[in-house]
Chains A and B, each alone.
Chain A
Amino acid sequence: MSELFSSTLTEIAQSVQSQKRSAVEVTQATLERISALNPEINAYLYVDREGALAAAAAVDRALQDNPGQSFPLAGVPIGIKDNLCTRGVRTTCASKILEGYIPPYDAHVVQQLRAAGAVLVGKLNLDEFAMGSSNENSAFGVVRNPWDRARTPGGSSGGAAAATALGLGFATLGSDTGGSVRQPASYCGVTAIKPTYGRVSRFGLIAFASSLDQVGPLTRNMRDGARLLSVIAGPDPRDATSAVVPVADYEAECGRDVRGLRVGVVKNITEGCQPAVAAAFQTAVEQLSKRLGCEIVEVELPHQRYALSVYYIVANAEASSNLARFDGMRYGLRVTGEELQNTYRKSRAAGFGAEVKRRIMLGTYVLSAGYYDALYLKAQKVRTLIRDDYAKAFAHCDVLLTPTAPSPAFKLGEIADPLAMYMQDIFTLPPSLAGIPAVSVPCGVSPEGLPLGLQLCAPHFEETRLVRLGHAYETVSGFKSLASAS
């Protein structure tokens, strides 16, 4: 079992494609591992044993019938964050308001995975409606960090990051609105890609903030992530914001030379970070410069400090509007009152958790009469300044480097203040607001043995640079992933 689970996604796909291993055998072993280990960390909310085995058998049959047919994800067991719709398989957003909801259709990315030969093993825990940075906002229990079970896996894709780290599937799909694949990847020692806004269709991703949401892969290395990105990227007529821009061969970037690549670093970027984060970041900069031959250049992002305020105005405004659809009429929880309005209010009161209510309230407030100009419109203007900062910075560098999070994973229950929790996302929010692609790659461990992450950002649609540099960095970082170590 351990040999199988130290294999990478691309190795599994290759072995199933060439019929050295069967998809059913890989899937069975993965389901057994999930049964054994998931109860300790609560990463999966639902395991679709039957569906997974049927999908695996179908891949094996297709390959027996026609070995020439190529499946980039042949027989690869993959977990899906539970805010992505899966036809006939429960999808809850970790919210009581959607408890028991069974979508009649697949998200675009789910269709893409199936067509590529992947085996969907189950649905992954998250902060309710992807709102949170610790996975403590799930209505169905916290997820525990596989590196230290007293700690958070991060959020909102906490289940996805924890499952990936522990080898409960060879990859997972998460979603990222302000850092929700990158920050948990950092906390759990895995790799995550937040694509350019529009790079991946949002069709079937249950909306949180529509101008920010993107689906992204979480994997144990950059090559696996590149493979997955190639499968899910590209235009989709069902999402008018998905961009008609050619999809590159991301995997081909792995192994390409990064000598002379200009890497931008903001002066004093680690001020306010925990010392271990600052030290690991400094080491990474030196490795990029001395071992990989990158040119380090200093850049400025003067408006980055306003990102948190801008984000929590814009994202919550959009969320308050998006979540209006949960009213107990067509799907989800209904608590019947005396009349219609009252039924809405009671259903939403019973169905939403505290953080979701807080964000709906804040979003409704900033859009309400008298505050729209002062808060919402103002935030959208400062957002322009944040975008412009990147445009200026990328005139001097090819890739921008920051830590992914200001600290390693904190203890469950440690942060109670909402604003302090939001601070966990200070590095991941600005790229989201600008719509630029960003990845988090593991960059060492803290003195207490917790993984840390490095964030790489590039201009719109330049994911190739992130894969190239991320992969090159992986070869010198010396980081050992949890599943391959155990």
Chain B
Amino acid sequence: MGSSRISIADVKHVAKLAALQLSDAEEARMEAELNTILAHMDELSEVDVSSVTPTLHSVVAAGALRPDVVLPSLSREELLQAAPAREADGFAVPKVLDGDG
């Protein structure tokens, strides 16, 4: 895993995937810090996991599944209270499509 090192280009790419706008200074700091952290994680390459299954659930116990019936839920008005911007009965969001759509 020695190849898993990050360049500034990688930082920009990952920031785009994560929908984070980073300043130049943040990008530079992120490159340095992520490289240090990932270098530490290289230690995992010493572990032989060829016959090991990944842990998807740490605890094996029956979960609390509920009957498949409709229950009352929060009202539209209650949920819209927290909206940064609203229009009539919905969340107002910036334009998604170009043109007159």
Within 8 A of B (CB), among A359-398: 360-362, 364-365, 368, 371, 374-375, 377-385, 387
Main secondary structure on chain B at its contact with chain A? loop
From the candidates A333, A340, A374, name the one contacting B4 in the complex (CB within 8 A).
Answer: A374
CB of B78 closer than 8 Å to a CB of A: yes
A365 near B74 (CB under 8 angstroms)? no
Cβ contacts under 8 Å, B58 to chain A: 197, 211-212, 383, 387, 433-435
Closest approach, in angstroms, between the C-beta of A177 and any C-beta of chain B?
Answer: 12
Contacts of B20 in A (CB 8 A): 345, 348-349, 352, 357, 360-361
Instruction: Please name all residues of chain A whose beta carbon is closer than 8 Å to the beta carbon of B17 when the two chains form the complex.
Output: 364, 368
For residue B85, CB closer than 8 A to chain A, the reply is yes
Pair B49/A329 contact, Cβ less than 8 Å: no
Chain B residue with Cβ nearest A461: B61
Q: Are B61 and A236 in contact (CB under 8 A)?
A: no
Across the interface, A243 reaches (CB within 8 A) one of B15, B44, B54, B59, namely B59
Contact B47 A385 (CB under 8 A): yes
Smallest CB–CB gap between B43 and chain A, Å? 6
Q: Can you name the residue of chain A whose Cβ is closest to the Cβ of B96? A: A340
Q: Are B1 and A375 in contact (CB under 8 A)?
A: yes
Q: A35 on the interface (CB 8 Å rule)?
A: no
Contact A244-B61, Cβ < 8 Å, known A341-B19, A365-B14:
yes
Contact in complex: B36, A419 (CB < 8 Å) = yes
State which size class the interface on B falls in.
35 or more
The 0/1 profile, CB within 8 Å of A marked 1, for residues 2-41 of chain B is 0010100011001101111110001000100110111011
Query: A residues 189-237 with Cβ under 8 Å of B?
Result: 196-198, 201, 211-212, 235-237
Chain A 298-310 interface 0/1 with B at a Cβ cutoff of 8 Å (1 = within)? 0000010110111
* A332 lies within 8 A of chain B by Cβ: yes
Chain B residues with Cβ below 8 Å from A419 are: 36-37, 40
A336 within 8 A of B: yes
Does A235 contact B91, Cβ atoms closer than 8 Å?
no
* B88 proximal to A (CB < 8 A): no
Neighbour of B41 across the interface among A313, A384, A461, CB < 8 A: A313
Separation in Å of the B22 CB from the closest CB of chain A?
Answer: 7
Of all chain B residues, the one with the shortest Cβ separation from A380 is B54
Nearest Cβ on chain A to B72's Cβ, whole angstroms: 12
Q: Which of A38-46, A100-108, A168-176 has 4 or more CB atoms under 8 Å from chain B?
A: A100-108
Q: Is the CB of B83 within 8 A of A330?
A: yes
Which residue of B has the minimal Cβ distance to A435?
B58
Whether the Cβ atoms of B14 and A239 lie closer than 8 Å is no
- Complex CA gap A419/B66 in Å reads 42
A339 within 8 A of B: yes
User: For the complex, what is the distance from the CA of A327 to the CA of B96, rounded to whole Å?
Assistant: 14
Inter-chain CA distance A212–B95, complex, in Å, is 37
Tell whether, in the assembled complex, residue A309 and residue B43 are in contact, meaning their CB atoms are under 8 Å apart: yes
Interface residues of A in 320-346 (CB under 8 A from B): 320, 324, 327-334, 336-346
Known: A104-B74, A309-B41. A348 touches B55 (CB 8 A): no
Query: CB-defined interface of B39-80 with A at 8 Å, one 1/0 digit per residue?
Result: 011011001010011111111011111100000001000110
Question: Which residues of the other chain, A, contact B56 by a CB distance below 8 angstroms?
Answer: 380
Q: Which of B20, B62, B65 has the most A CB atoms < 10 Å from its CB?
A: B20
Cβ contacts under 8 Å, B30 to chain A: 357-358, 361
Residues on the A chain within 8 Å of B78, using CB: 104
A-side contacts of B14, CB under 8 Å: 361, 364-365, 368
| Contacts beyond the supplied A237-B65, A312-B41: 15 A-B pairs with Cβ under 8 Å | A197-B58, A211-B57, A244-B61, A337-B94, A339-B95, A340-B93, A340-B94, A357-B22, A358-B34, A362-B34, A374-B1, A378-B49, A384-B49, A385-B49, A434-B58
Which 3 A-B residue pairings sit nearest by Cβ, starting from the closest? A435-B58, A237-B66, A380-B54
